[in-house]
Chains A and B, each alone.
Chain A
Amino acid sequence: MRDERLTFFGYFRNIYTAVKSSLIGMWITFRYVWGKKPVTVEYPEVRDVLPDNTRSRLYNDALNCISCNMCAISCPVDCIYISSVPRPKDLDVPKCDDGTPKRQVLTQYVIDTALCCYCGLCTVVCPTECLTHTDDYEYSQYEVADMKYDYLSDDLIAWRDRLVKS
C-alpha cells in the first residue's frame, strides 16, 4: 500500500528483509521444540490445584442456616429460593455450630446454579458462614431444570464432608 517507487535494489532488499525477519521468527518458534515445559494440563487425568478462595459451586450447609434471607436479598440475579416458617413456641430452639439460635424452620433452600453468576456476594453477607463457595466444578447436567439444587435433600446434605472446606 505504501507508495514508494520500487527500484531494482529495493526489490531484492525487500526480499532479503522479509526472509531475514521470517527466519528470526521461525528460530524463536523452533526453540520451543526442546527445553520448554508444557504450560497446559491434560485435564481429566491431571487437575489444576485451585486456590482456597475459588468461587465455584455454591454449597449451603442447611444444618447451620438460620433462614435470615440475607443471601437471597444480596443476590443480583435472584437465583436463591428460600422460605421458612416460625418455629412453634413449645419446641426447643436448636443452635448452630457457632451458637446462633435457629428461630425459623427452613422449609426450602434451592439455588438455581444455571442462573448463578458466581459473584460471591451471598457468601460475604452470610452471618453463620454456612453458605460457601466450594472448589467443585464438575456438576453439569443434561437439562437446565436439573441445575436447581435443593440443599435440604438427603444426598446434598451427605456431600457436606466432601465439599465444605474446614
Chain B
Amino acid sequence: MVTRHSYRWLVFLLLLILAVLFIAPILIVLMNSFKGQFSISGEPFRLPTKETFVGLLNYRNGIEKIDFVSAFAYSLFITVASVSVIILFTSMAAWYIVRRKSFFTKFFYLTLVFSMIVPFQMVMFTMSKIANVLNLENPVGIVLIYLGFGAGLSVFIFSGFVRSLPYALEEAASIDGCNPWQMFFKIIFPMMKPTAVTVAILNAMWIWNDYLLPYLVIGSKYKTIPVAIQYLQGGYGSRDMGALMAMLVLAVLPIIVFYAFAQKFIVKGVIAGAVKG
C-alpha cells in the first residue's frame, strides 16, 4: 500500500509541475508588461527591478497606440451580434431542414456540412471581393458573413438535436392550430436552450479570436483585438515590446474571466463540437 500511496504523490507532483509550466507563459507576459520596453526582449525571465519597473506606462501606451478601447468594442459587438444572429437563424433553418425533407433542403444541408471541411484560404479572396461589392465592409456587414461561415457547424449541431425530438409533439400542436412560426418559437426553440448554449460558445470562441476574416473584410478601418495586436507588431518603426506585452495581457484577460464564469458550459460545448464527426 505504501507504493500505491507514493505513486499517487509522484503523479500529483508531476501534474503540479506541468500545471506551473502551463500557466508560466501567461505569468511571464504579465510580469513583462510592467517592465520598460527595452528591458523585455533580452531578459524576459527577470523580475522587474526598481530601474525596469514602469507601472502602467505600457498599458497607457498600448491602449493609445492601437486604440484598444475601440478594438475591444468592435470585438465585443461583432462577437455578440454574430452569435445572436447565428443562434436565431441557424436554429430556424435546422428545424425547417429536418422537418421539411424536400430535395432542396437535403441538398442545402449537404452543402452546409461540406462547408465545414473547406479551409478558409479557399474562399478568402473571392469572399472579400464580394463583401466589398455588397458594402459589407463594416461591423454590421461582417455579421452576415459570420452567419454564413458559422452556418455549417451550427445547423449541423441544431439539426442533430431536432432529429432527437419526438414528432408527435409537433403534430399535436399543429392539430391545436399552431402555425410553423408559433410552433417554432413557442415549442421548439425553448427546448433547444442547452444546444443553443453549445452553439453559442463554439461560435463565440471562434469569432472572438478570429484574425484573418476581420483583417481581410474590415481590417483597414475597424480593427478587432487580434487585428489590432498584429498591427502593433507589424506596424511602422521599431516595435514597442512593452505595449505588446500589455496588450497581450488585455487580450487574454476577458477570456480568463469568461472561462472562470462559464467553465462548465465551455467544456461541455467543446466536447459536443468535437464529436461532430
A, B co-complexed: no
